[in-house]
C-alpha cells in the first residue's frame, strides 16, 4: 500500500454523488514546491521549505537533488534542504520519473556539472516529450549535449560561462525557466531572449518570483520576451512557505460547482501568481456561485452553468477540470490557444475529445482548441481511460460524480503525480469511490 492508504496501482470506480459539502485546505502548490526545492539546493546553506506538496513531482525533485549531493530532511510537512550551491555532483544519472518540468529544470542546472545524464522509466510519456529547444540553447551557451533525437535519455556537460542566448517559447515556458534557474550562477550571467509566441506567462512569473524569494536579482521586459540576470550571484538560503495549489484546486472547485451543497476551500491566496487562479473567474462567468473570504473560497453548488469561450493558455493546467464544468453547461464551450495541451502526459486535446465522446458528450478539436457541448445528463456505466494523466483522471472523476451510473477510470493511481489526496479530499466532502487494484505499474 502507498502512503495514501491506496493500492500501488489501481482503477477507481466513481459513484454518482447527490451533493458535496464540507471544508478543505488546498494542497500545497506543486509548481512552487518544485521551484523552491531546486532553488534551495542551489543555495549554499540550509533552507526550510514549509508545507511542501507530497506529489510525485515533488518526490522526483527531492530524489534527484539528493543524488546531486543536496542534504534532504523531511520534518513534518516541511523539507529542510542543505544546498550544493553552484556545484552539483558530476557523473550522476538522474531519473525524474514522469515529471516533465522537473526534468527540464534539472537539464538547465546540469550545465554546471559534467556528465549528468537524465533518464526516465516512462518512455511512452516523458520519453516522447520534446527537449530539443532547451538542449540547443544549452549548446549555444557552450554545453556539450547528447540526446536521443532531442528526447530522453540526455547527457549534459558544462562548464558554461553565460552570455546571450535565445530559446523558443512556442512549445513550453519550462525551457526558459530552466535557463533562468541556471543564469545567476554563471560567471557572465544570462541575457535570455524568448522567441515565438510565449506560452504560459504565469509559470515564468512564478520562476522569477522564486528567484526574488531567494535573493537573486534580475530584470525582465513587461512581456517577458527578455530576461537579464547578472552573473556571479548566489541563491540565499533561508525560510520559504509554499502557497496553496490552484491547478488541483480547480478540480475541487469545479466539482463543488456541479453538485449541490456548500464547500469551503482554504489556503488560496487572492493575488497568487499561478495562472490557474483564473479558474475561479471562469467558473463564475459560467454561473457558479463562488465568494471569497480572505484566502478561503466558498462554493454554493448546483447552480445551472452556461458555456464560455476563453483563451486557455494562461490556465492550461485547469483546462481539464473546467472541461468537466463545460460538459454539463448549456451550450458549447471552447478553449482556444491551448496547443501546449498536446505535449503533456497525454494529448489533452485529442484524448479528452475521445473520452468525452465515449461518455456521450459532444466534443470537437482543432490544432489548438477544444470545444465541448454540454449534455443534459451523463449515462455512465462505462470504463474510461485515464491515459496515465493526472489531469485527465480529475476530469473523468468529476464527470463520474454527475453520471447516472458509476464510471470506472483506468490507471487512477497516476493522480499521485500532482494530487495524491484528490480522492481522499473528495471523500471528506461526501463522494464515494471503490479502489480496484490492478497489476499495471
The tens digit of pLDDT for each residue in 369-395 reads 999 999 999 999 999 999 999 999 999
The pLDDT assigned to 171 comes to: 82
Asked if pLDDT for residue 368 goes beyond 80, the answer is: yes
Q: How many CA atoms within 13 Å lie on the side-chain side of 404?
A: 7
Among residues of the chain, what percentage have pLDDT more than 90?
95
Could you write out the DSSP letters of every residue in 347-412? -TTHHHHHHHHHTT-EEEEETTEEEEE--S-----SEEE-TT-HHHHHHHHHHHHHSSS-EEEETG
In this prediction, residues 44-57 reach a mean pLDDT of 95
Confirm or deny that 35 is annotated as ligand binding.
Answer: yes
Alpha-carbon gap, residue 35 to 210, rounded angstroms: 7
440 versus 381: which is more confidently predicted?
Answer: 381
269 carries a ligand binding annotation: no
Output the average pLDDT for the chain: 96
Residue 8: CB atoms within 10 Å: 12
Residues facing residue 296 across a β-bridge: 293
33 to 59, 142, 170, 423: CA distances (angstroms): 10, 30, 25, 21
Instruction: Give the confidence band of 90 by pLDDT, cuts at 50, 70, 90.
Output: very high
The bridge status of strand 71-75 relative to strand 46-50 is unpaired
Whole-number pLDDT of residue 371: 98
The verdict on whether residue 199 carries a ligand-binding annotation is no
Q: Which three cell numbers stand for residue 226?
A: 527578455
Q: How far apart are CA 191 and CA 180, in angstroms?
A: 9
CA distance 96 to 216: 26
Q: Is 317 one of the annotated active-site residues of the chain?
A: yes
Q: Do 111 and 134 touch, CB atoms closer than 8 A?
A: no
Grid coordinates given for 303? 447552480
Report whether 124 contacts 151 (CB < 8 A). no
Instruction: Set out the domains of the chain in order of their start, with CATH numbers.
Output: 10-27+244-437 (3.65.10.10), 30-239 (3.65.10.10)
Over residues 8-19, mean pLDDT? 97
Per the annotation, does 228 bind a ligand?
A: no
Is residue 189 within 8 A of residue 162, CB to CB? The reply is yes
Ramachandran region of residue 331, left (φ > 0), alpha (ψ -120 to 50) or beta?
left
Which of 91-105, 190-204, 367-381, 407-421 has the least mean pLDDT?
A: 190-204
Neighbours of 149 (CB within 10 A): 7
Q: Which three cell numbers stand for residue 391?
A: 489531469
Residue 356 pLDDT greater than 80, yes or no? yes
CA distances, 44 to each of 70, 177, 184, 320 (Å): 10, 21, 13, 39
**Confidence band of 4 (pLDDT split at 50, 70, 90):** confident
> Cα separation of 396 and 380, whole Å?
11
Under 8 Å between Cβ of 196 and 168: yes
Q: Which three cell numbers stand for residue 7?
A: 493500492
Mean pLDDT, residues 163-191 taken together: 95
Q: Is the pLDDT of residue 1 over 60?
A: no
Contact 383, 408 (CB under 8 A): yes
| Whether the predicted pLDDT of 2 surpasses 70 | no
Q: Which residue is catalytic, options 11, 133, 317, 351?
A: 317
CB atoms within 10 A of CB 383: 11
pLDDT the model gives residue 198: 84
pLDDT at 7 > cutoff 90: yes
Is 244 annotated among the ligand-binding residues? Answer: no
Confirm or deny that 173 is annotated as ligand binding. Answer: yes
Q: Which residues lie below 8 Å from residue 10, measured CB to CB, with a gap of 6+? A: 412, 413, 435, 436, 437, 438
d(CA 94, CA 154): 10
Q: Please give the Cα distance from 95 to 257 (Å, whole number).
A: 39
Query: How far does CA 238 lie from the centroid of its chain?
Result: 25
Tell the residue number behind the cell numbers 493575488, with chain if given.
Answer: 271
Amino acid at each position: 500500500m502507498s502512503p495514501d492508504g491506496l493500492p500501488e496501482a489501481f482503477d477507481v470506480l466513481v459513484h454518482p454523488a447527490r451533493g458535496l459539502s464540507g471544508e478543505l485546505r488546498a494542497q500545497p502548490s506543486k509548481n512552487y514546491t518544485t521551484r523552491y526545492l531546486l532553488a534551495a539546493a542551489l543555495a549554499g546553506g540550509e533552507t526550510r521549505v514549509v508545507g511542501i506538496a507530497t506529489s510525485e513531482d515533488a518526490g522526483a525533485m527531492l530524489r534527484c537533488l539528493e543524488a546531486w549531493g543536496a542534504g534532504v530532511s523531511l520534518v513534518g510537512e516541511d523539507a529542510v534542504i542543505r544546498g550544493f550551491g553552484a556545484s552539483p555532483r558530476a557523473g550522476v544519472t538522474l531519473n525524474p520519473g514522469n515529471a516533465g518540468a522537473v526534468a527540464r529544470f534539472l537539464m538547465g542546472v546540469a550545465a554546471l556539472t559534467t556528465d549528468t545524464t537524465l533518464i526516465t522509466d516512462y518512455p511512452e510519456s516523458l520519453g516522447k516529450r520534446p527537449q530539443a529547444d532547451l538542449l540547443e540553447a544549452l549548446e549555444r551557451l557552450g554545453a556539450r549535449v547528447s540526446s536521443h533525437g532531442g528526447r530522453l535519455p540526455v547527457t549534459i556537460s558544462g562548464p558554461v560561462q553565460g552570455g546571450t542566448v535565445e530559446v523558443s517559447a512556442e512549445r513550453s515556458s519550462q525551457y526558459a525557466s530552466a535557463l533562468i534557474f541556471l543564469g545567476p550562477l554563471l560567471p557572465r550571467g544570462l541575457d535570455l531572449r524568448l522567441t515565438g509566441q510565449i506560452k504560459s506567462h504565469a509559470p515564468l512569473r512564478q520562476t522569477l518570483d522564486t528567484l526574488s524569494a531567494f535573493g537573486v536579482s534580475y530584470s525582465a521586459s513587461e512581456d517577458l520576451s527578455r530576461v537579464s540576470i547578472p552573473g556571479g550571484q548566489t541563491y540565499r538560503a533561508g525560510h520559504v512557505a509554499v502557497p496553496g495549489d490552484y491547478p488541483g484546486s480547480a478540480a475541487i472547485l469545479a466539482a463543488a460547482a456541479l453538485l449541490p451543497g456548500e464547500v469551503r476551500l482554504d489556503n488560496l491566496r487572492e493575488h497568487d501568481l499561478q495562472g490557474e487562479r483564473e479558474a475561479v473567474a471562469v467558473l463564475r462567468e459560467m454561473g457558479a456561485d463562488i465568494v471569497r473570504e480572505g484566502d478561503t473560497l466558498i462554493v454554493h453548488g448546483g447552480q445551472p452553468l452556461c458555456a464560455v469561450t476563453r483563451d486557455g493558455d494562461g490556465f492550461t493546467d485547469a483546462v481539464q477540470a473546467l472541461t468537466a464544468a463545460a460538459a454539463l453547461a448549456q451550450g458549447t464551450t471552447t478553449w482556444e490557444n491551448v496547443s501546449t495541451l498536446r505535449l503533456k502526459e497525454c494529448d489533452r486535446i485529442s484524448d479528452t475529445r475521445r473520452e468525452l465522446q465515449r461518455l456521450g458528450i459532444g466534443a470537437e478539436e482543432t490544432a489548438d482548441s477544444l470545444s465541448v457541448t454540454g449534455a443534459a445528463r451523463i449515462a455512465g456505466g462505462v470504463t474510461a481511460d485515464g491515459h496515465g494523466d493526472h489531469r485527465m483522471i480529475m476530469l473523468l472523476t468529476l464527470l463520474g460524480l454527475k453520471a447516472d451510473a458509476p464510471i470506472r477510470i483506468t490507471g487512477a493511481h497516476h493522480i499521485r503525480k500532482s494530487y495524491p489526496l484528490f480522492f481522499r479530499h473528495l471523500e471528506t466532502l461526501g463522494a464515494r469511490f471503490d479502489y480496484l487494484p490492478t497489476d499495471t505499474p
